[in-house]
Amino acid sequence: MGTCVFTDFLCTEGKRMLEFRFEATKFEESWSRKALESFYEEGWIEKVLYRVKGGKEATVYCCQADPETGYDLVAAKIYRHRGLRSMKNYESYREGRFVTTDKRKLRAIKNKSRYGKQSMDSAWIDSEFTFFQTFFRAGADIPEPIAAGPHSMLMDFVGDREAAAPTLHEVRLDTSDAWPLFDRIIENVATFLAYNLIHGDLSAFNILYWEGDFRVIDFPQAISPPENPNAFQSLVRDVERVCQYFEKLGVRESYFDIAEDLWNRYLTRSL
């Protein structure tokens, strides 16, 4: 057994370890350390500054990036262990949501074998990182994806050292800012559709607002219309939630017309 020296950072057998700058329970620290250690070892991050939020499916931390990466702050999203998570992913699979195109994995998932459950877990994480990469390259307003690890991913942090950006739900926008923001959010929905995907959980809760600008987040449940019989309803619901939020700011648009127009523009050809 190695010795453990407590200084500003923890050492085990003389090895530097990822530093935690906030008080976490032993359980949280060991769980998040496990998930983030590879990012530390690969030279992406050097400190965990604070916990941003423990959400439905994941916990997000604000981390100090290693200066050599060229980033300052990065967000580390750690997915809950399958056992601790809702059954949403399994239900999503049944609804035909995008999970994997690998036939062997799909069969295993269908049979609910152990390999299937593992595949489901990693596919869930891989798919969010892949969506981030695709949409970021396509110019969507989302945080830049940086690295993927087992049960976790790193992306550009929206916010600063003191606090993460609030969600759109938590801010009071000026009515004069409403139209341009609304238009750009709908443009983002169009970008997702151009890549054959629908966010599937778009709302003011999954849009971060920072210094007059926004970033859409939280893609693991994104759906691929050709495989999903409820795709149009999902698109309608995403657009409806955006319209509902902006309605009180004077943006009165028919969510159904917008969704239908987007659907006809981007999807009818491929279905």
Ligand X SMILES: Nc1ncnc2c1ncn2[C@@H]1O[C@H](COP(=O)(O)OP(=O)(O)O)[C@@H](O)[C@H]1O
**Binding partner of 96, given ligand X, Mg ion, none, CB within 5-8 angstroms per partner class:** none
Q: Tokens 């004077």 label which residue?
A: 250
CB of 107 to ligand X, least distance (A): 27
CB of 206 to Mg ion, least distance (A): 5
Residue 212 burial (10 A CB sphere; 0-12, 13-18, 19+) = exposed
Residues contacting Mg ion: total by CB under 5 A: 3
Q: What is the SS3 assignment for 13?
A: coil
Count CB-CB contacts under 10 A for residue 167.
Answer: 18
**Binding partner of 189, given ligand X, Mg ion, none, CB within 5-8 angstroms per partner class:** none
| DSSP secondary structure code for residue 201 in this structure | S
Residue 198: closest CA among 266, 106, 105, 100: 266
- For the stretch 211-216, contacts whose Cβ atoms lie closer than 8 Å and that sit 24 or more positions apart, written own/partner, are 212/177, 213/141, 214/141, 214/168, 214/181, 214/184, 214/185, 215/141, 215/142, 215/143, 215/158, 215/165, 216/140, 216/141, 216/142, 216/185, 216/188
Q: Can you tell me which of 218, 234, 258, 262 binds Mg ion, judged by CB under 5 A?
A: 218
- 96 binding ligand X? (CB under 6 A): no
Site for ligand X in 8-27 (CB under 6 A): none
| DSSP secondary structure code for residue 21 in this structure | -
Q: CA–CA separation, 163 vs 52, rounded Å?
A: 8
| CB closer to ligand X, 86 vs 101 | 86
CB of 63 to ligand X, least distance (A): 10
- 52 binding ligand X? (CB under 6 A): yes
**Binding partner of 240, given Mg ion, ligand X, none, CB within 5-8 angstroms per partner class:** none
Distance between alpha carbon 3 and the CA centroid of its chain, in Å? 38
Instruction: Please choose, out of 29-37, 39-47, 51-59, 192-200, the segment that lies near ligand X by the rule CB under 6 A.
Output: 51-59
Q: What is the DSSP string of 40-90?
A: HHTTSEEEEEEEEEE-SSEEEEEEEEPGGGT-SEEEEEEEPPGGGS-THHH
Q: Can you tell me which of 206, 221, 224, 234 binds Mg ion, judged by CB under 5 A?
A: 206
Nearest residue (beta carbon) to ligand X: 55
- 155 binding ligand X? (CB under 6 A): yes
- 58 binding ligand X? (CB under 6 A): yes
Instruction: Please choose, out of 98-106, 109-117, 151-159, 188-196, the segment that lies near ligand X by the rule CB under 6 A.
Output: 151-159
- 142 binding ligand X? (CB under 6 A): no
Q: Is the C-alpha dihedral spanning 96, 60, 44, 84 positive or negative?
A: negative
* Residues 66-95 as x/- pattern, contact with ligand X by CB under 6 A: ---------x-x------------------
CB of 80 to Mg ion, least distance (A): 13
**What residues line the site for Mg ion (CB under 5 A)?**
55, 206, 218
**What residues line the site for ligand X (CB under 6 A)?**
52-53, 55-58, 60, 75, 77, 143, 155, 157-159, 164-165, 167, 206, 208, 217-218
